Structures are given as C-alpha cells and as structure tokens.
Amino acid sequence: MSSTSAVGPRRKIVGTSLKMYFDLTKTLTYAADLANISSQAAKHNIDLFIIPDFVSLLPVKDALTGTEVKLGAQDAFWEDAGAYTGEVSCKTLSQAGVSIVELGHAERRRLFGETDATAAKKAAAACRNGLVPLVCIGEKTHGKIASQAVGMAIEECRPQVMSLLQAIPDDAELILAYEPVWAIGASEPADPDHVVAVTQQIRKMAEGRKGLTRILYGGSAGPGTYDRLRQGVDGLFLGRFAHDIKNLEQVIKEMSD
C-alpha cells in the first residue's frame, strides 16, 4: 500500500473518545496525563487526538495548551444556528478550539437514530466550519465464513462511505474510522486480516479525492493492535483500552516503529 495521497504523505493518527465513561474531574486528570505523553507522538509525526464530552471541551483545551494534541467533539448538529434545543453547532465547536468532529458512531446510530444521511449532513457542516469530520462506519454483524465476511462488510460500508463523500467537498480533509459494530466493546479487536481487507477496499472508495483521507481502525483496539493493520490503516481509534494512559503510550510507541 502506498502511504502517500494526492496531498502528500499521510501522517499517522491515533486518539481516543472518552464516550461518557469519565466525569469532569477524571477527564481533566486524563487530559493532563495525555499532555504529558503527547511529545512522544509529536516527535514521531503522529497526530494525537482526544474526544471528551461537550462540557469538558474547554477545560480540556486548557489542559492541552502547549501541546499538539487535537481536540475532538463526539457529535455536532448540521445547522450552524437556530432553534435546535440541545444541539451544538460546528461553528461554536470551532470557536471552542475543536478541530475534529466525530460522527455516526455505532452507539449514536443504535441509541439516537443517527443514519448515513444525518452523519453526511453533519459532516458537511463540519467541513463548512473548518472542522475535520471523523466518521465511523462498519458492518453490524460478523459474517461467520471469513471469505464471505469481508465481502459482506465491504458492501455494508460502501453506502456509508458514498453518502458521505457525496455530501462533503472533494478537497475536504476526512477521517474514516472503520469500526465493525460487533468488535466494539468486545474483549479483543477484529481479526487483522479482515480489517486490512476491508480497509483497503474502503480506501479504494475514496481514491482520487483531493482532500487528505485517513482511515482508522476502532473496536477493542489497544497495545498490539496496530502492527498487524499497517497495510490497511493510518492509525487507531481507541476506546476502553486507552483509559489506562500507559496503554495509549504503548500504542504510540508501537506506531512509532
């Protein structure tokens, strides 16, 4: 696999969403720990990001002052302003120092009715406001026969990717997180051969885009996951296994090699 795109070499990227696991106090402790290890990623030209809950964004931004850690939000609305109680606009997120907006996570699809269409509209809003959409895609169930599982996963991911690509400018930066739904919250990540086969096809779907397009793997990822995915992905999107900062430090080390 080539590690270059039309816009130059793709920097590796790794990060974590804290989902709703931590309260504010714990989030800030974690952000301080992250700031302390962040130079290890920067030294190796690896982008590092954290996606805390909305309330924590501003204090986390302060905790990350002087580092290169990118700040992400866990969702955003597709309009920039108006009577949308409870929603947060990409414009406000941008003003708050956010640079990445996570969209279409499996939990938001399952619990809050997020669809490919809403994720695409939100991604367009993110691009319009200078934010990078990080859009989660992935098949719901694991095909039991390995040879068929790859093809089924690709066909389930294809409309998720295509609706998104149609909604955002061709030159917009994009992060696609391949997260097989069945591998989220599990004891171990998906089989590396499966992930590489699927993500190579996902990359083909975005081939020819002018904007930087990076692909992450997420779903029970942690130390030991990245090495066998090198041929398919540009990095990892961590959940629970980043809660211990030492694990994240180890992942950065593995990605640095």
Ligand X SMILES: O=C(CO)COP(=O)(O)O
Q: With CB under 6 A as the contact rule, which of the stretches 31-39, 148-156, 203-211, 219-227 interacts with ligand X?
A: 219-227
Q: Give the residue with the Cβ less far from ligand X, 31 or 103.
A: 103
Which one is catalytic: 105, 114, 139, 194? 105
Q: Give the residue with the Cβ less far from ligand X, 91 or 237.
A: 237
For tokens 């816009």, what's the residue?
7
Minimum CB separation of residue 179 from ligand X in Å reads 6
- Among residues 226, 228, 178, the alpha carbon closest in space to that of 206 is found at 178
Question: What is the signed CA dihedral for 230, 215, 47, 30, rounded to 10 degrees?
Answer: -100
Minimum CB separation of residue 74 from ligand X in Å reads 9
Angstrom CA distances, 61 to 34, 93, 159, stand at 12, 12, 35
Quote the CA–CA distance of 149 and 131 in Å, as a whole number. Answer: 34
Handedness of CA 141, 143, 144, 149 (dihedral sign): negative
- State the binding string over 164-183 for ligand X (x if CB under 6 A, else -): ---------------x----
Can you tell me which of 132, 153, 184, 198 binds ligand X, judged by CB under 6 A? 184
Can you tell me which of 218, 223, 232, 235 binds ligand X, judged by CB under 6 A? 218
Burial per residue of 76-88, b for 16 or more beta-carbon CB atoms within 10 angstroms, e otherwise: bbbeeeeeeeeeb
Q: Which positions lie near ligand X, rule CB under 6 A?
A: 17, 105, 179, 184-185, 218-221, 237-241
The residues assigned a catalytic role are: 105, 179
